[in-house]
Homo-oligomer: A and B are copies of this chain.
Amino acid sequence: MSNGLIIHGGAPTAVINASLYGVVKQAEKCPQIKKLYAAIGGSRGVLNRRFLDLKSVPQAELELLPFTPASVIGTSRDRLEPEDYAEMAEIIRQEDIRYVFFNGGNGSMDTCGKIYKACLDAGTEVQIIGIPKTMDNDIAVTDHAPGFGSAARYIAGTVSEVCRDVMSLPIHVCIIEAMGRNAGWLTASSALARDAGAGPDLIYVPELAFDEDRFLADVERVHRTKTGVVVVVGESLHGRDGKTIVEPVFQTGRSVYYGDVSSHLANLVIRRLGIKARGEKPGLCGRASIEFQSETDRNEAVLVGQAAVKAAIDGHTGVMVGLERVEGPRYSVQTTLIPIEQVMLREQVMPSEFISGAGNDVTEEFCSWCRPLLGGPLRRFAAI
């Protein structure tokens, strides 16, 4: 009998605690796992030996995990040095930890891979399994990652509500900024608002170079035919020169706070077109929202947590759990195991067939791919 350890890395999502729940519940069934430690505060928590024995957490609190946003055990995004990995391997050996679960995005999978290598180098036998998580959906190989479906539901649902507001006042032009670093998955998911009867008029993802003149021409054209134009843009839009259209507010390593693209573009519309415009930036509200949590996303988050424990007990190591769609008339997934080096720091952006030819919308193919991840239809509103 040995101990288990779970570590959270990178930004939280609406379902990261649901994966934690999956790990805890599966570990309970495994006599091989003596104690299940959580590192408090991510990798930094391991280095500081801040461990919590999850078996000491009351059952009632555990049952709330799938419905609790953010990371209840903390997380970190610190840049680690080579000696940190060696130290972690040593701590893992000292604490008699045999099973390591690392829940994170592609940056965290890089850390996970490096811990794996450090343990190998030290001759410490461990089963290290990655658990995918990202609201951005930019992890490679896996069809999608837990965290994305809920954030997509938030964006689609919120944009649908804002569209109704904007059409009823009317507010002329409203520009909503969606998160997603270099990938437009979340921005694109706003198209699903149309399923609820009111969706965005224009969508610009960061996969394409953004041209302010073409954007203004698009807005002006739509504004001629209707009041209340709604535009959804990615936070990291950049021009043909590769530079973001608004300078990032803060950047350290992979951690970036982008500038206010929505407000920049709203001001552009006011100044250049003389049309009333306003920008909205829900930002963090979107990844922490339990009201818009997708049931499918939550269930899949639990599933990958369980699968990680099963894989570890089965002797797998150096792999990340992935999700793959099962062919058939109804949406369903199965878990896979992906060698971790295939996902380390590799960013998955939207394929071109998901972006409309004119570059200001997404395709029906994207919508069909994305729809099941939202976990059920959006709310229906009165049509008068």
- Residues in B with CB closer than 8 Å to A161 are 69-70, 285, 288-290
Q: How far is the CA of A168 from the CA of B250 in the complex (A)?
A: 19
Known: A72-B384, A169-B11, A384-B57. A282 touches B279 (CB 8 A): no
Instruction: Name which of A97-105, A262-270, A352-360 contacts chain B.
Output: A262-270
Q: Is the CB of A288 within 8 A of B162?
A: yes
Would you call A379 an interface residue if the criterion is a C-beta within 8 Å of the partner chain's C-beta atoms? yes
Task: Count contacts on A: residues with CB < 8 A to the other chain.
Answer: 65
Q: Is the CB of B260 within 8 A of A263?
A: yes
Q: How far is the CA of A380 from the CA of B69 in the complex (A)?
A: 11
Interfacial residues of chain A within 256-306, with CB under 8 A of chain B in the complex = 257, 260, 263, 266-267, 270, 276-285, 287-292
Would you call A77 an interface residue if the criterion is a C-beta within 8 Å of the partner chain's C-beta atoms? yes
Known: A169-B77, A267-B249. A285 touches B379 (CB 8 A): no
Would you call A326 an interface residue if the criterion is a C-beta within 8 Å of the partner chain's C-beta atoms? no
- Residues in B with CB closer than 8 Å to A379 are 67, 290
Would you call A95 an interface residue if the criterion is a C-beta within 8 Å of the partner chain's C-beta atoms? no
Q: Kindly provide the distance from the CB of A10 to the nearest chain B CB, expressed in whole angstroms.
A: 8
Would you call A164 an interface residue if the criterion is a C-beta within 8 Å of the partner chain's C-beta atoms? yes
Closest to A174 in B: B284
Binding site for B on A (CB under 8 A): 11-12, 17, 38, 52, 57, 61-62, 64-65, 67-77, 157-158, 161-162, 164-171, 174, 249-250, 252, 257, 260, 263, 266-267, 270, 276-285, 287-292, 379-384
- 4 new A-B pairs (CB below 8 Å) besides A52-B384, A250-B278? A12-B169, A249-B266, A249-B278, A280-B284
